[in-house]
A and B are shown apart, each in its own frame.
Chain A
Amino acid sequence: MSLTRQDVEKIAHLARLSITDQEMPVYVSSLSSIVSFVDELSRTDTEGVLPMAHPLDGQHQRLRADEVSETDNHEKYQVNAPAVAAGLYVVPRVIE
C-alpha cells in the first residue's frame, strides 16, 4: 500500500498541518511504509471479534452529581493564550 503526494496533502489538510515542499517527499515515503506495515492486520481473521476500546472490561463512564465544582478561572487560563482582548481569545476575522 503506497500513498501519493495528493493523499498526503489531503491528510495534512484534514489534520490542519502545513507541510513544506521540502518535507513532503519524506512524509509520502514514511507514511507509505507505516501504512504498509499496519496493513499486516488485514491478513488476520477477526470474524466475530468485538472491537476493544478500553483495556479494562466493565469500566463505564462515571456520573457525578450535577453541582458546581469549578469556579471561573478564565483570567488564570488566558495567561497562556497567544492573544486575548476583553477576556476573549483573539483570532483572525472569520466573518466578513
Chain B
Amino acid sequence: MLHNLFIGELAARLDKREISSVELTRHFLSRIERLNPPLNAFISLTADAALADAAAADARLKAGERGPLLGIPLIHKDIFCTAGVRTSCGSRMLDNFVAPYDATVVVRLKAAGTVMLGKSNMDEFAMGSSNETSYYGPVKNPWDISKVPGGSSGGSAAATAARLAPLATGTDTGGSIRQPAALTGVTGLKPTYGRVSRYGMIAFASSLDQAGVFARSAGDAAAALAVMAGFDPRDSTSVDVPVPDYMSTLSQPLKGLKIGLLREFFEGLEAQNAALIENALSIYTGLGAETREVSLPHLPLSVPTYYVVAPAECSSNLSRFDGVRFGHRCENPKDLMDLYKRSRGEGFGPEVKRRIMTGTYVLSAGYFDAYYLKAQKARRLITNDFRAAFDQVDLVIGPTTPTPAFDIGAKMNDPVLMYLNDIYTIGANLAGLPGISVPCGFVDGLPMGLQLIGPHFAEAKLLNAAHQYQQATDWHTHAPRGYA
C-alpha cells in the first residue's frame, strides 16, 4: 500500500508518473478522515489547499522537474507559522491567530514541492512530554490509544506512526522530537542548534529550540533535512555552515566507527529496555563499529538545569502575549493591568502558567544567581562532558526514554515526575548537539527508541549510522495494528 512506502519509493513512482501527487494526497487525506478521529493528531486540516498544492506539484513533474520531496505530502507541527492557515501552538491564546507569513521551514519545504495536509496537535507552546497539555485535547498513541504518544510533538509522531503522512515536522527543546518518536516507533531527528532556521517557529526557549523531522526511516529524514537545513539571515542564531549531501553518505560502511555507550544512561535502566539497547549494540558491532563505555558525570544535573533555563527563557518569550497585538483578550478589562492578567490567565493553560511562573521566580531579584546563573554554569559542565566524550568516540548511544509509552493521565498531577521523562534527551539540547531516535524493538507490545547523539553538525554521521542500523534490522517497518 502507498502509505507504507518510504519517500524514496514514492518519489520514484511520482517520477515515473505511475501515480500523481493528487492521487497520493487523496490517499492520505482519506486515511486521515478514517483513522484520525480517535487519535486527535491534528489541530487543523487543509484538504483543499493540499489538493491545490498537489496539482501544482503534478504540473512541475509533468514539466520534467524532479526532486526528492516534489509531490510528497507532509504535516507541519502547529508551532510553525503558515500564512493564511491558523497557527495555534496548541493554545487557547492563539486559537484565532492566523500568521501573516510562513516560517522558513515551511517556505523551504513548500518550495521543494511538499504538500501540507494539515497542522498537527502538540503540547501547549511545546511544553509537555505527553501531549496532554494541548488546548485541543490529548493525542492518543496509535499502538494503544490508552497511552500517550509523548510530546511535545505528539501529533506529528502519532500521525507518522499511523501512516497518515510519510513526513511530519517537529521541534525539540528538551526531547520533543526524539521522545515521541521513540514512544510511537518512528524515526525522529533533532539537528544541531542553529542548523535549521527558527524563523516563524513560535519560541519556547530560544537557546534550546531546534526544528527537526519525523519520518519512518533515517533515509527519509535525510531527504527532509537536506531541504530544511541551511543559513537563514532572518534567524540571528542560524549558523552559516555548508549543508552536506546527507543522502550520499547514508550507505557509508561503519567499519571503525567508534560508538560510546553512555554509562549514566544505563544506570537504573529496566532489564527489558537495556536488553534492546544491548541488541542494537551487537548489530553495530556486527557492522564493524567499535564500542566503548564513556561517562558524562554531570548528566544527572541535566533535568534540573533544563527546568531552570527553559522556564526562564519561556517566561521572557511568552511576555509577548499581552492581549494587545494578537492572541486572546479577556472580556471587559477594567484597566490595562487587568487586561494583561486576565488575558494571560485565561489564554494560557496550567502547565504553561506553571513554567512562566517558574521562570519568573528563577529570574527574580535575589534568586537570579542561585538559580539562573547556577544553571548556566551547570550547562557548561554538561556540555564539557559531551565534548570530552567526543574526543574519544564519534557518536554516543543509549535509550531515548526510560520506559515505553505510559497511560494517559498517569503523570499529569506530578510535574517533576513528568519532567523526568526527558532525562535522556535534555543533555543534547543543553549542549546544542544533534540527536536521532530510531525504533529498536518492543517492551510489552509498545515501541522503544535507540538514541544516537553526535558532535555539532554531525547529522550526516548520525543519519548514516541510523540508516545502516535500519538496513540490518526491520524495527522501523512495524506498523501499529489497524494502521498497516
Residues of B within 8 A of A64 (CB): 233
Q: B358 in the interface, Cβ–Cβ < 8 Å?
A: yes
Whether A15 and B98, one on each chain, are in contact in the complex, defined by CB atoms closer than 8 angstroms, is no
A89 to B207 alpha-carbon distance, docked (Å): 31
Question: What's the nearest-Cβ distance from chain B to residue A17, in Å?
Answer: 5
Whether A16 and B378, one on each chain, are in contact in the complex, defined by CB atoms closer than 8 angstroms, is no
Whether A51 and B377, one on each chain, are in contact in the complex, defined by CB atoms closer than 8 angstroms, is yes
Q: Please pick, from B194, B304, B361, the residue contacting A31 in the complex, using a CB distance under 8 A.
A: B361
Q: B193 in the interface, Cβ–Cβ < 8 Å?
A: yes
Q: Please pick, from B315, B361, B430, the residue contacting A35 in the complex, using a CB distance under 8 A.
A: B361
Whether B354 and A34, one on each chain, are in contact in the complex, defined by CB atoms closer than 8 angstroms, is yes
Residues of A within 8 A of B433 (CB): 55
Residues of A within 8 A of B350 (CB): 23, 26
Residues of B within 8 A of A87 (CB): none
Q: Which of B413-442 contact A (CB under 8 A)?
A: 414-416, 419, 429-433
Whether A49 and B357, one on each chain, are in contact in the complex, defined by CB atoms closer than 8 angstroms, is no
Q: Which residue of B lies closest to A7 (CB)?
A: B361
Whether A55 and B432, one on each chain, are in contact in the complex, defined by CB atoms closer than 8 angstroms, is yes
Per-residue contact bits, chain B 276-301, to A (CB 8 Å; 1 contact, 0 not): 00000000000000000000001001
Q: Which of B341-375 contact A (CB under 8 A)?
A: 341-342, 344-346, 348, 350, 353-354, 356-358, 360-362, 364, 370-371, 373-375
Whether A73 and B376, one on each chain, are in contact in the complex, defined by CB atoms closer than 8 angstroms, is no
Residues of B within 8 A of A15 (CB): 315, 344, 353, 356-357, 360
B: interface residue count bin: 35 or more
Of B45-53, B150-158, B319-327, the one with at least 4 CB within 8 A of chain A: B319-327
A54 to B193 alpha-carbon distance, docked (Å): 9
Whether B376 and A38, one on each chain, are in contact in the complex, defined by CB atoms closer than 8 angstroms, is no
Q: A94 in the interface, Cβ–Cβ < 8 Å?
A: yes
Q: Please pick, from B304, B336, B341, B357, the residue contacting A38 in the complex, using a CB distance under 8 A.
A: B304
Per-residue contact bits, chain B 305-340, to A (CB 8 Å; 1 contact, 0 not): 101100000010001001111111100011111111
Per-residue contact bits, chain B 375-388, to A (CB 8 Å; 1 contact, 0 not): 11111110100000
Q: B239 in the interface, Cβ–Cβ < 8 Å?
A: yes
Whether B334 and A54, one on each chain, are in contact in the complex, defined by CB atoms closer than 8 angstroms, is no
Q: B406 in the interface, Cβ–Cβ < 8 Å?
A: no
Per-residue contact bits, chain A 5-45, to B (CB 8 Å; 1 contact, 0 not): 00110011111111110010011001101110111111010
Whether B432 and A56, one on each chain, are in contact in the complex, defined by CB atoms closer than 8 angstroms, is yes
Q: Which residue of A lies closest to B319 (CB)?
A: A16
Interface residues of B (CB under 8 A from A): 96-98, 100, 193-194, 207-208, 233, 236-237, 239, 298, 301, 303-305, 307-308, 315, 319, 322-329, 333-342, 344-346, 348, 350, 353-354, 356-358, 360-362, 364, 370-371, 373-381, 383, 414-416, 419, 429-433, 456
Q: A35-B361, A82-B329, A92-B336 are in contact. List 12 more A-B contacts (CB 8 A).
A: A15-B356, A18-B345, A27-B353, A31-B358, A34-B358, A41-B304, A44-B378, A49-B381, A51-B377, A80-B327, A89-B325, A91-B324
Q: Which 6 A-B pairs have the closest CB atoms?
A: A55-B432, A18-B345, A51-B376, A82-B329, A46-B377, A80-B326
A-B contact pairs, 25 of them (CB 8 A): A8-B357, A15-B344, A16-B337, A19-B353, A23-B350, A27-B354, A35-B361, A40-B304, A41-B371, A49-B377, A53-B207, A55-B430, A56-B194, A56-B456, A61-B236, A64-B233, A80-B96, A80-B325, A81-B325, A82-B327, A82-B328, A91-B324, A92-B338, A92-B339, A94-B335
